[in-house]
Amino acid sequence: MLAAAAVSTLAMVPVIGLSGPASAAIVQQKCSTSQFKVLKTPGDDIDLALAFCVQRDSTGVFRVESTTDWRHGGRVDFEKLELHLRLERYDVVQKGTVCNLRTQVNNVVDRHLCQIPWSSAAPPVTGDR
């Protein structure tokens, strides 16, 4: 069995301030380019592609959304594989979540969406993982 405490990459930190029209939809979004990471295993290595966006709606609340894609050549058996996602203001965590990727990666499902719930943090905010 393999264990990975957390998936981490260099932080790409989109910054969002306030401005935009009034509606209950997402009115602003800043996204990172995909970052790639290889998890070495005794069997098939796992290639991860991680991208995330900071979103703001018209009421002024924010969230961070991360998409993780992966591929591997066969069955893997992680005991733990987590993605730690944070909404930050000046490098201080305002809200965070941990998404468990273990089951999906072990069973070859190739995409996972992780989201921090909407937060009323004051701008500017960034996303990090």
Q: What is the pLDDT of residues 45-87, one digit of tens each?
A: 889 999 989 999 989 999 999 999 998 877 788 889 999 999 9
Q: Which residue has the tokens 């999906």?
A: 104
pLDDT, residue 53, reads 94
Count each helix (H run) and each strand (E run) in the chain, helices first.
1, 9
Cα–Cα distance, 21 to 111 (Å, whole number)? 32
Cα–Cα distance, 93 to 85 (Å, whole number)? 10
Whether pLDDT at 7 is above 50: no
Could you tell me what percent of the chain has a pLDDT over 90? 45
Contact, 88 vs 94, CB < 8 A?
yes
Asked, as a colleague might, if the bond just before 21 is cis with ω within 30 of 0, I would say no
pLDDT, residue 62, reads 93
Cα–Cα distance, 81 to 97 (Å, whole number)? 14
The C-alpha R_g of the chain, in whole angstroms, comes to: 16
- CA distances from residue 121 to 63, 74, 82, 105 in whole angstroms, order as listed: 9, 42, 24, 32
3-17, 33-47, 64-78: least confidently modelled range: 3-17
Average pLDDT on 104-129 reads 87
pLDDT, residue 28, reads 92
Q: Which residue has the tokens 């703001």?
A: 56
Average pLDDT on 84-108 reads 91
Q: Are strands 2-7 and 35-39 parallel, antiparallel or unpaired?
A: unpaired
pLDDT, residue 15, reads 47
pLDDT, residue 24, reads 57
